[in-house]
A and B are shown apart, each in its own frame.
Chain A
Amino acid sequence: MTSSVDLDQQEWRRTARDFFAAKSPEAAVRRLAATPEGYDPEVWRQLSDQLGLQGLIIPEEYGGSGFGLVELGVVLEEMGRNLFCGPFLSSAVIAATALLRSADEDAKARYLPGIAEGTTIATLAFGERSAHRNPPRISTRAETRGSGWRLWGEERFVGDGHIADLLLVVAAVDGSPGLFAVEGTAAELGRVPIATMDQTQRAAHIGLTGAPAARIDEIDVGAMLLRVQSIAAACIAAGHVGGMQQALDLAVEYATVRVQYGRPIGSFQAIKHRCADMLVALETSRAVAAQALAAIDREDPALDELASLALVRASEAYLKVAGDSIQIHGGIGVTWEHPLHFHFKRVKASASPWGSLAEHRARITEAIGI
């Protein structure tokens, strides 16, 4: 039988781990959580200059390095472990994937190199979100005015919409969906940053009042959105695995040093068994997240349901692990100064734009034909 364990991947993991441990320590997360932008432009540059991460899954012809989601998953896991703050998923994964699904070579050559380099922060706005197969309800309309297209509408909860240089917007053209690119500098573009519980990931409401737009041609928008949702689900699951690992590590460390009744609390089965269950939650999530990423890379016919089940499993597991870690920490676990609350808050914030767990379960029941 052939090896599926790639040694290079272990090297890659070490590189990513060292980078995010150094560039996204808790102090940095706390500092960025308190800024309006919520990310560090200098670290964002280093992400590109030192590791080329923004171009990881973009093909070489557009300035990237053409790796798959399996290699990306390693990065997302380390980001999740270190609560990395920045528009990585929105720009380097979601927006890049949206563009790559089109056959419009002009548009891809125009936008992808900047995204790959990190000099363009892009995001995708696609109306009312749903994880169902049906296309989401489009809330923006596009009309031709003179020589070009203009967009009107409101896009709510756009990931990293407060800082995006480029907005890819799904808008209705005579009732059917089209994909449009809007420059972040457009005067007819309004942004309202949203104050959210999770301060490590940001979003904004976007208003479009006749903003000039370039149409991206040769794209099946419905199929693109479905794929983007599956990729988002699998990528979020991968990030959750890193976050869970960190929350479990913190719990084990604390249970080993915290003494009550004259012995470390980690020697009590009430604590030990909780930690064992956290480990099961983590490892089962790790397995399904890896399975989903690999399935997308090889275009497995079952990739949508594998992505949905990875998100359901990893979301429930992360919530449990972060919550249990707080419980094991006792009082200190529910303080602002302890980092666990960032993990706990991330779980629900991450998944909500990509469909509720109920909606992902609905995708699964559909896939199994009931």
Chain B
Amino acid sequence: MSLVDLDLTAEDRAFQDEVRAWLEEHLVGEFAEHRGIGGIADDDGWEVRQRWDQELARDGWLAIGWPQEYGGRGATLSQEIIFHLEYARSNAPYRAGGNGQDLLGPMLLLCGSDEQKLRFLPPIASAREYWCQGFSEPNAGSDLANIQTRAKLDGDHWVINGQKIWTSLAHRADFIYVLTRTDPDSARHRGLSMLIVSVDQPGIDVRPIRNISGGAEFAEVFLTDARTPVDMVIGEVNAGWKVAMATLGIERGADLLPHLLTFDREMQSVIELARRRGALSDPWIRVGIADAWIGLQVLHAVTLRTVSSLMHGAAPGAEGSISKLFASEWHQRLGELAMDIAGEQGQVVGPGYELDPFQRIFLDSRSETIYGGSSEIQRNILSERVLGLPREPRPTSTKEPTSA
């Protein structure tokens, strides 16, 4: 397997050594026993992962790209990339507070007020508060601008009513950032605001949804007269769409390389499975493995190009959609290949619908072509923004339907 290889300066190498040494010293005991556990939208091993986050936080490794005053290290993008790469190499448990660290934090740094940054960033960097994202609604999925959750001012508080869905780890979160309509006469992307709302209040009801692999890691969030202070708007009132779009841009970047290392490990484990099962003499399985390996190397090459241009100061562009499309579909094929190799035994689940790693890939990868902008949306982005093809004609009326 080819390993991710970047041109590092002497300073970068010194930083890399520091990260490696820290991980070696601290990834021991229960943390070492839980290597590889968890994921961005999965709460396996939640308690141990929280303790791991706190271990990282103690030495300032949780939000290294943030300014020091908010609990970060002011690391460069190169250092961030190196950190995440070494982290992935060590196969440490997935950070529990990823949503706050990777999404809400950067959004606050970009659009938040000084008071908001001082109030909310340090508890994320020290693993004391956890966050979830309230974007999708039953009628606002790919068409995110069709948000129907509403907030109106009541004295010095916003009062929010509506429903969010597919909210990952909502049951673990202290706060939710909610994209909500604050101008009742607005339509589509105008008149939305990004509100910070405490989850722990009577106006919020989190109802877990059981997912394809049997877990309950995403949820519906019902907001019924939920309240939040007037100054809990991120960015300007009625400018929430801009804030949301800025966050979606953040979602691609430093986290690309770590995914590759996970994929490398999974590829190796599928080859090992084929070896154990005596399937390597099957010509179809061999072709399947060769194609999966080719796809993985393609992904390495594409990702290295993207990361290298990001490191040279390029803005993350619509090209990220190429990686997202290719990677998510590749991952699904890998899961299907693993099921073909595993045969009947691969259909057996453990007590309480406990799944093995191959079953997890097979099932969980179905969500990867849906979340973070479905494959169809990615294809729209590529064809419209990169290739310049005409936009889909919009319906003649831009008024929102009033019923949900």
- Using CB atoms and an 8 Å cutoff, list the residues of chain A in contact with chain B: 1-5, 248, 252, 255-256, 263-264, 266-267, 269, 271-273, 275-277, 279-280, 283-284, 287-288, 290-291, 302, 306, 309, 312-313, 361, 364-365, 368, 370
Interface string of B366-386 (1 = CB under 8 A from A): 000000000010111011101
Nearest Cβ on chain B to A328's Cβ, whole angstroms: 11
Tally chain B residues at the interface, Cβ within 8 Å: 48
For the complex, give the distance between the alpha carbons of A227 and B382 in Å. 37
Q: Which A residue's beta carbon lies closest to that of B281? A: A370
Within 8 A of A (CB), among B352-404: 376, 378-380, 382-384, 386-393
Nearest Cβ on chain B to A330's Cβ, whole angstroms: 17
- Among A3, A271, A276, A370, the residue within 8 A (CB) of B275 is A370
Do residues A288 and B393 form an inter-chain contact, with CB atoms below 8 A? no
- Among B294, B301, B379, B390, the residue within 8 A (CB) of A264 is B390
Do residues A279 and B298 form an inter-chain contact, with CB atoms below 8 A? no
Inter-chain contacts of B1 with A (CB < 8 A): 368
17 residue pairs from A and B, CB less than 8 Å apart: A1-B9, A1-B78, A5-B309, A266-B383, A266-B389, A266-B390, A267-B389, A269-B379, A273-B380, A275-B382, A276-B382, A279-B322, A279-B387, A280-B326, A283-B322, A287-B304, A309-B293
Nearest Cβ on chain A to B208's Cβ, whole angstroms: 34
- Among A4, A267, A273, A370, the residue within 8 A (CB) of B274 is A370
Q: Cβ of B173 < 8 Å from any Cβ of A?
A: no
Q: Which B residue's beta carbon lies closest to that of A287? A: B301
Q: A1-B12, A275-B383 are in contact. Are A370 and B289 (CB under 8 A)?
A: yes
Do residues A273 and B301 form an inter-chain contact, with CB atoms below 8 A? no
Inter-chain contacts of B280 with A (CB < 8 A): 370
Do residues A365 and B12 form an inter-chain contact, with CB atoms below 8 A? no
For the complex, give the distance between the alpha carbons of A312 and B289 in Å. 14
- Among B382, B387, B392, the residue within 8 A (CB) of A267 is B392
Do residues B325 and A306 form an inter-chain contact, with CB atoms below 8 A? no
Do residues B322 and A361 form an inter-chain contact, with CB atoms below 8 A? no
Inter-chain contacts of A302 with B (CB < 8 A): 2
Inter-chain contacts of A275 with B (CB < 8 A): 382-383, 387, 389
Inter-chain contacts of B271 with A (CB < 8 A): 368, 370
Q: A267-B393, A309-B294 are in contact. Are A283 and B302 (CB under 8 A)?
A: yes
Q: A287-B305, A368-B271 are in contact. Are A272 and B289 (CB under 8 A)?
A: no
For the complex, give the distance between the alpha carbons of A207 and B289 in Å. 42
For the complex, give the distance between the alpha carbons of A5 and B308 in Å. 9
Within 8 A of A (CB), among B277-311: 280, 286-287, 289-291, 293-294, 297-298, 301-302, 304-305, 308-309, 311
Do residues A269 and B392 form an inter-chain contact, with CB atoms below 8 A? yes
Most buried by A among B290, B379, B380, B392: B290
Inter-chain contacts of B319 with A (CB < 8 A): 283
Q: A1-B78, A279-B387, A309-B293 are in contact. List 20 more A-B contacts (CB 8 A).
A: A1-B9, A1-B308, A1-B311, A5-B308, A5-B309, A264-B389, A266-B383, A267-B391, A269-B376, A273-B380, A276-B382, A280-B325, A284-B326, A288-B301, A290-B301, A364-B290, A368-B1, A368-B293, A370-B274, A370-B286
Q: Which A residue's beta carbon lies closest to that of B383? A: A272
Inter-chain contacts of A280 with B (CB < 8 A): 322, 325-326, 382
Do residues A252 and B382 form an inter-chain contact, with CB atoms below 8 A? no
Do residues B311 and A267 form an inter-chain contact, with CB atoms below 8 A? no
Nearest Cβ on chain B to A65's Cβ, whole angstroms: 25
Nearest Cβ on chain B to A326's Cβ, whole angstroms: 18
For the complex, give the distance between the alpha carbons of A275 and B2 in Å. 30
Do residues B298 and A284 form an inter-chain contact, with CB atoms below 8 A? yes
Do residues A279 and B301 form an inter-chain contact, with CB atoms below 8 A? no
Inter-chain contacts of B304 with A (CB < 8 A): 287, 291
Inter-chain contacts of B389 with A (CB < 8 A): 252, 255-256, 264, 266-267, 271-272, 275
For the complex, give the distance between the alpha carbons of A248 and B322 in Å. 15
Do residues A276 and B387 form an inter-chain contact, with CB atoms below 8 A? yes
Q: Cβ of B6 < 8 Å from any Cβ of A?
A: yes
For the complex, give the distance between the alpha carbons of A269 and B374 in Å. 14
Q: Cβ of B115 < 8 Å from any Cβ of A?
A: no
Inter-chain contacts of A276 with B (CB < 8 A): 325, 378-380, 382-383, 387
Do residues A252 and B379 form an inter-chain contact, with CB atoms below 8 A? no
Inter-chain contacts of B386 with A (CB < 8 A): 279
Most buried by A among B2, B294, B322, B391: B294
Q: Cβ of B153 < 8 Å from any Cβ of A?
A: no
Do residues B384 and A1 form an inter-chain contact, with CB atoms below 8 A? no
For the complex, give the distance between the alpha carbons of A279 and B380 in Å. 12
Inter-chain contacts of A256 with B (CB < 8 A): 388-390
Q: A1-B6, A272-B384 are in contact. Are A365 and B286 (CB under 8 A)?
A: yes
- Among B294, B302, B311, the residue within 8 A (CB) of A312 is B294
For the complex, give the distance between the alpha carbons of A256 and B383 in Å. 11
Inter-chain contacts of A273 with B (CB < 8 A): 376, 379-380, 383
Inter-chain contacts of A368 with B (CB < 8 A): 1, 271, 289-290, 293
Most buried by A among B291, B297, B379, B389: B389
For the complex, give the distance between the alpha carbons of A291 and B293 in Å. 15
Inter-chain contacts of B290 with A (CB < 8 A): 361, 364-365, 368
Inter-chain contacts of A266 with B (CB < 8 A): 383, 389-390
- Among B7, B293, B301, the residue within 8 A (CB) of A4 is B7
Inter-chain contacts of A361 with B (CB < 8 A): 286-287, 290-291, 294
Q: A256-B389, A275-B383, A370-B275 are in contact. Are A365 and B289 (CB under 8 A)?
A: yes
Within 8 A of A (CB), among B1-39: 1-2, 6-9, 12
Inter-chain contacts of B325 with A (CB < 8 A): 276, 280
Nearest Cβ on chain A to B3's Cβ, whole angstroms: 10
For the complex, give the distance between the alpha carbons of A269 and B393 in Å. 11
Inter-chain contacts of B287 with A (CB < 8 A): 361
Most buried by A among B1, B298, B384: B298
Do residues A364 and B380 form an inter-chain contact, with CB atoms below 8 A? no
Do residues B298 and A313 form an inter-chain contact, with CB atoms below 8 A? yes
Interface string of B316-357 (1 = CB under 8 A from A): 000100100110000000000000000000000000000000
Most buried by A among B301, B308, B384: B301
- Among A3, A284, A290, A364, the residue within 8 A (CB) of B293 is A364
Task: In the A-B complex, list the 5 residue pairs whose CB atoms are closest, starting with the nearest.
Answer: A287-B301, A276-B379, A272-B383, A276-B382, A267-B390
Inter-chain contacts of A291 with B (CB < 8 A): 297, 301, 304
For the complex, give the distance between the alpha carbons of A302 and B1 in Å. 9
For the complex, give the distance between the alpha carbons of A3 and B78 in Å. 12
For the complex, give the distance between the alpha carbons of A230 and B393 in Å. 48
Do residues B383 and A287 form an inter-chain contact, with CB atoms below 8 A? no
Inter-chain contacts of B382 with A (CB < 8 A): 275-276, 279-280
Q: Which A residue's beta carbon lies closest to that of B6? A: A1
Q: A1-B8, A275-B383, A365-B289 are in contact. Are A287 and B298 (CB under 8 A)?
A: yes
Inter-chain contacts of A4 with B (CB < 8 A): 7, 308
- Among B294, B308, B378, the residue within 8 A (CB) of A364 is B294
Q: Which A residue's beta carbon lies closest to that of B11? A: A1
